[in-house]
Amino acid sequence: MKRLWVVLIMFVIFSAAGFAVETVLAPMEVVGQAVPGEELPKGDSFSKTVVRYLKVLDRSGVLQPSVHPLPKGEDHPRSILDASSFSAYYGLDMLVFGRLSCTPEYIDGYLQVYDVQNGEIRHRIYSRDQAGRYERLAEDLAGKLFEYLTEDLGLAPVYPSYEVRRNIWDLRGRIGYWSPMGSWRDNLSGILSLEAAGFLTPEYPLGDYGPWLYGMRFGLSLGYDVGVSTPGHEEFVFHGIRTGIPVELTLMRYSDSRKSYSVGLTPFFMLDVLVQERRYEGSYTTSTAAIGMSLSGTVRYSLNETSALGLGLEFSSVFYDPPRYEIRPSLVYECRFPGSKEKVE
């Protein structure tokens, strides 16, 4: 018993420090009869649905719920002995296992929280719903399990607070490599890609989903690419100038405020300038223009409250015929001018 409380105390300490603890569910045993015309759900599939709802509730991100597959040759845990064997196989301190019992009228879900150190069932959870309402039953079981883990055992804060900031301005600089893909790559080779962008975040975060805080930001960007002809083709220097309107979804975990992510979609206008030094005609310049669209992803690590360094990857398509597809890995630096803030519980 003392060892269990030591483990629980360590869980609480790790949670406060931003560490994650793993809450393991075994695939549930499914018995009974389904509604005519339907099939019974698979045990591992139903357990994964419970885990999905548990992740939504776990706003602090420290429970880290997951489903471990059954060890080879073993059946679903039904008793303390089965739970002990399953836990020993994976080296667990706590296991959640149970059974889904189905009839044409009702479905009943049972979960049991097994304490490995003391070899006993610490808590039992029961829920009933109409036949076929598997999603709703899984959501109710997840809610009751979350309530037990957080309020009775104190493994995670139920409602962590955060600050809402308004009118945030960000300046971003990006330097990297770029390369065309497909048939364009036969004639054109990328060398260097640069970009400067400014963003406005009206409000951050807009809300939360499970352990994630999310927001939106809108900006203007100006990019420059330089490339050259590939060996074996007539020599030229390529200059590409892009102006875009990026829209980005930004994400950050409660438990790791120093790391943030963004996924962006950018419609842009592209001006291509081709410069050649012809032997008998002197300098020759031609240009073309087209619109395009890009999809990008960035991961950033905060250096301090106002600056961050990160890595970015962008895929874009310039709508020529045939389209010119491009890829841009890059190093990213951002400078932030935080706006007003207020605390939200």
Is residue 28 assigned to a domain? yes
Same domain, yes or no, for 172 and 103?
A: no
Give the model confidence (pLDDT) of 62-110 as tens digits: 788 899 999 988 899 999 999 999 999 999 988 999 999 999 899 999 9
Give the model confidence (pLDDT) of 135-182 as tens digits: 999 999 999 999 888 888 777 555 556 778 888 999 999 999 999 998
- Which of 109, 125, 152 is the last residue before a domain boundary? 152
Is residue 7 predicted with pLDDT exceeding 60?
no
CATH of the domain at 148: 3.40.50.10070
Same domain, yes or no, for 166 and 145?
A: no
Q: Cβ(302)–Cβ(310) under 8 Å?
A: no
Is residue 34 assigned to a domain? yes
Same domain, yes or no, for 123 and 218?
A: no
Is residue 57 predicted with pLDDT exceeding 70?
yes
pLDDT of residue 158: 52
Q: What is the pTM of this model?
A: 0.62
Same domain, yes or no, for 276 and 327?
A: yes
pLDDT of residue 13: 40
Domain count, the chain: 2
Same domain, yes or no, for 210 and 330?
A: yes
Same domain, yes or no, for 166 and 148?
A: no
Taking the CB of residue 238, how many other CB atoms lie within 10 A of it? 19
Is residue 88 assigned to a domain? yes
Is residue 120 assigned to a domain? yes
Please choose, from the candidates 268, 192, 189, the residue with its C-alpha nearest in 3D space to the C-alpha of residue 226.
192
Domain that residue 223 falls in: 162-344
pLDDT of residue 38: 84
Same domain, yes or no, for 177 and 145?
A: no
The span from the CA of 152 to the CA of 133, in Å, is: 28
Q: Cβ(298)–Cβ(283) under 8 Å?
A: no
Is residue 267 assigned to a domain? yes
Same domain, yes or no, for 75 and 219?
A: no
The span from the CA of 271 to the CA of 290, in Å, is: 7
- Which of 99, 118, 152 is the last residue before a domain boundary? 152
Mean pLDDT for the stretch of residues 183-187: 90
Give the model confidence (pLDDT) of 205-244 as tens digits: 898 876 788 999 999 999 999 999 998 888 899 999 999 9
**Both tokens of residue 266?**
């950018």
Same domain, yes or no, for 124 and 55?
A: yes
Is residue 326 assigned to a domain? yes
Same domain, yes or no, for 186 and 139?
A: no
Same domain, yes or no, for 227 and 326?
A: yes
Is residue 112 assigned to a domain? yes
- Which of 97, 129, 152 is the last residue before a domain boundary? 152
Is residue 58 predicted with pLDDT exceeding 90?
no
Same domain, yes or no, for 84 and 200?
A: no
CA distance readout (Å), 293 to 243, 268, 297, 319, 324 = 11, 6, 14, 8, 11
Is residue 157 assigned to a domain? no
CATH of the domain at 317: 2.40.160.20
pLDDT of residue 257: 77
